[in-house]
Amino acid sequence: MTALSAPRLFTPLTIRSLTVPNRLWVSPMCMYSAIDGVPQDWHRTHLAQFASGGAGLIMAEATGIVPEGRISPRDTGIWNDEQRDAWSRIVGEVHERGGLIGIQLAHAGRKASTWWPWAAAAGSVRAEDGGWVTSAPSPVAFEGFATPDALDSAGIDRVVEAFAAAARRAIDAGFDVLEIHAAHGYLLHQFLSPLSNLRSDEYGGSLENRARLLLRVLDAVRAVAADGVPVFVRISATDHAEGGFTPEEAAAVGVWCGEHGADLIDVSSGGLVAHQRIDVHPGYQVPLAATVRQTGRIPVSAVGLITTGGQAEEILSSGAADAIFAGREWLRDPHFGLRAAHELGAEVPWPPQYLRARWR
């Protein structure tokens, strides 16, 4: 098969100085298995396996830029050098297998200090159990969680500085891509949505004001990344709730992010409020990616119940997105990329150890 007739899913995508060999990528997925923010052997084997499985890009999980920015006490962090060095070993193993890896830089805001999914308890973790006081744009709790403190001006400045410091450590660890997490109801999304941002200062009210912190963070991360390292932004393009953040607002924010140096918008949805109503079905978030992409100003990725190579190829061929992130399917099959290439008849590199499975 020639390059001209190759499925679009298995054509390269060049972003700044980085050429990603294909467009089927591993979405960031929390493992809730870190100790004091330090990734463990679980993370190493979990992430490295995808490099052997044909992933064009692997995005490491939402990683706290500060201790209080973690979703749970078991989340990974990148606020100190011990964490940086542990990540560096993981990055090295992915690179040894020929893969590319990014990291999602995150602050959970009012959704921080929560129990991990399989814990015996639920909701917010109390201080005596290792939890902490959370922060947010306004003192409005996520349903069932503790009420956060509202960030003041100095606190907002510290958030920006922490994202920049985390970006520096991530680059020093060798990550190929940085992603700013502004989705799923976490801090930057909390600022974007009028359901959680009730401020009356320069960070609240109009969409321009609600996007101000995200763009400040993006400016700071872009400055650290300089011209070479791609910077993505993940957004929730709708809150799936009345009066919340809308796809049209997401498209406008995507344009602004492009103007501030973002290279791709990773389009997801939801997570801001517990009363969201989502019609979940295969590819249910693809129209949101298409809405952001139709501005023609910045590439986008689609995510959400994308489970076959044929489905992913159809999304790209339709013009709805430029790349595909998948999550659950990579967990089910860490060789999803090789399987999709086989299904679509694409010529892709296989680890020599696996060549016996290439055709039969």
- The domain spans of the chain are 3-117+125-357
What pLDDT sits at residue 360? 60
Q: How confident is the model over 170-192, as a mean pLDDT?
A: 98
What does the pLDDT look like over 84-125, one tens digit per residue? 999 999 999 999 999 999 999 999 999 999 999 999 999 999
What does the pLDDT look like over 49-87, one tens digit per residue? 999 999 999 999 999 999 999 999 999 999 999 999 999
CATH architecture of the domain 3-117+125-357 equals Alpha-Beta Barrel (3.20)
What does the pLDDT look like over 245-289, one tens digit per residue? 999 999 999 999 999 999 999 999 999 999 999 999 999 999 999
pLDDT of 40 above 50: yes
Which run of H or of E encompasses 176?
none
What pLDDT sits at residue 5? 66
203 is known as an active-site residue? no
* Residue 1 banded pLDDT, cuts 50, 70, 90: very low
Q: What is the pTM of this model?
A: 0.95
Helix ranges (H only) for the chain are 41-52, 81-96, 153-172, 187-192, 207-210, 212-225, 247-259, 286-293, 309-317, 328-332, 336-344
pLDDT of 3 above 60: no
What pLDDT sits at residue 2? 45
Q: Which residue out of 32, 186, 203, 284 is catalytically annotated?
A: 186
User: How would you class 147 by CB atoms within 10 Å of its CB: exposed for 0-12, middle for 13-18, buried for 19 or more?
Assistant: middle
Q: Which residues, 6 or more positions from 107, have their beta carbon under 8 angstroms from its beta carbon?
A: 64, 65, 66, 69, 159, 162, 163, 181, 186, 187, 188
Nearest to 59 by CA among 277, 273, 303: 303
